[in-house]
Every structure is written in structure tokens, then in C-alpha cells.
Amino acid sequence: MKVTTFLLVIFFTILINPQSENRSKYFSLSLSGGTCLNNPVNYYFYGETEDEIINPGLQVNLGVGYGPFGILDLTEFSMALTAGYTKVSTSVIELEHYPSDAQLIIETFPILIWGRLQTDTKLSPFIELGVGASRLNFIERYSYGLKGTSFNYWAFAYASGAGLKYKISAEVEIALAVCSITNEKEHLEMNDRDRYAGIKIRNVVYVYYLRVDYNL
């Protein structure tokens, strides 16, 4: 909710600010890749405790942006629509008391609308906030004898991040940043007393990435 409110305030500021009309705006394409971390504290897995650490994983992201809009002197705001993929997993574990290997995999597919605030200098720090939806896949695999568990769902997602952006030329920019992407889903059931009971599932992925923007 706070992320959505922030984006609405920025958008309203752009509409009433005459500086926004004096700046050239353009569409841009972006490609980013990096590593991600995801260590939920409340999951259960068959492997031994010391082997259950989730290793850093892969992140890729594609996006389309538009801007910049002027807000104040030397300050710019741009928007982007992105679709991404993250994957983390445990190592393949050999079970001690069963002739089988095991592995846990967590994937997300976030689709987000971002707002980014930065300066109009060649090297600029920036902050970004995003809202949208994300699909989560939870996969528990065993090589022999044991039945694995898997589930997936779509849920509301929000994100925040910060980094440095550098303009190589009028067409090409690169950014180095870190962000967190959170998705939440609430599951409720009616009990025998005609009351709802349930749980809210929250998954957080921390992403460290390098992004390349090409201005059209």
C-alpha cells in the first residue's frame, strides 16, 4: 500500500509540474541479470539441517520503460514495466536413512510496474519502487521412492531497490543495483464455528543485478 501511494504521489506531482513538458521523453528497452538470495525461515525439507541452506541463484529480467519526467531541478522520474525470473535451490542432498537424493527449488516470475527517481547527471544514484504480481513455484524433488511436494500460486507483489546508474551515451545506460521483491498470499478457510482461519504466506527474494538500458 505504501509503495502504491508513493507512485501515485509522484505521478500527480509530474502532472502539475510544467518542467515535465520541457524534457525529451523516450521509450527504452532493458535487460538485466544477476544473482538472488532467498532463505525463508519457516519451510520444512527432508534433508539434514546443515544441508538445507538455499544457495544463491539466478535472476534475469526484461523491461520496457518511458520517461524521464521532470519533477525538480536535476531530478527525473521514469516508469517501467518488467517481467522477470528468479531461481534458488539447495544442493542435491543424499539422504542418510533412505536410498534417495533430495533437492528443494523455489522459483518466482514477478511482473511489476516500477517508478524510478534519479538525477539527470551522467552518474546518478537512484531509488525504485514497484507493484504488480508474482508467481511462486515451490518444488521438492526426490530421486527415488519418496513422493515430492510442489505447489504454485499467483500473488500480489511489491518491490523496492536502490543503485547507481551511468550514462555511457545518449542511447545506452547501465545500472548496478540491489532490490527486494516480496509476494504475499492469504489463505482462509471457514471452520466449524463459522469463522475464518488461515495464514499469510510471504516470500522475499533479494536481487543483486546489472541492468543495461537502450533508449529508442
pLDDT given at position 14? 47
Does pTM surpass 0.85? no
- pLDDT for the residue 16: 42
What pLDDT does residue 184 have? 82
Q: Is the dihedral of CA 20, 26, 29, 30 positive or negative?
A: negative
Total domain count, the chain:
1
Q: Which domain holds residue 104?
A: 2-215
Task: Give CA–CA dist 38/61, Å, rounded.
Answer: 17
User: What is the grid cell recorded at 184?
Assistant: 504475499
Give me 71's grid cell.
519533477
Nearest CA to 112 out of 125, 129, 127, 126 is that of: 129
Q: Say which CATH number the domain at 128 has.
A: 2.40.160.20
**Angstrom distance (rounded) from CA 108 to CA 137:** 6
Beta strand 93-94 with 55-70: parallel, antiparallel or unpaired? unpaired
Distance separating alpha carbons of residues 211 and 165, to the nearest angstrom: 9
Written as tens digits, the pLDDT of the chain (216 aa) is 555 555 555 544 544 454 445 557 789 999 999 999 886 655 555 555 455 677 889 999 999 999 888 776 667 888 999 999 999 888 887 777 777 788 888 899 999 999 998 888 889 999 999 999 999 888 888 877 777 778 888 999 999 999 999 999 888 999 999 999 998 877 666 655 566 566 667 888 899 999 999 988
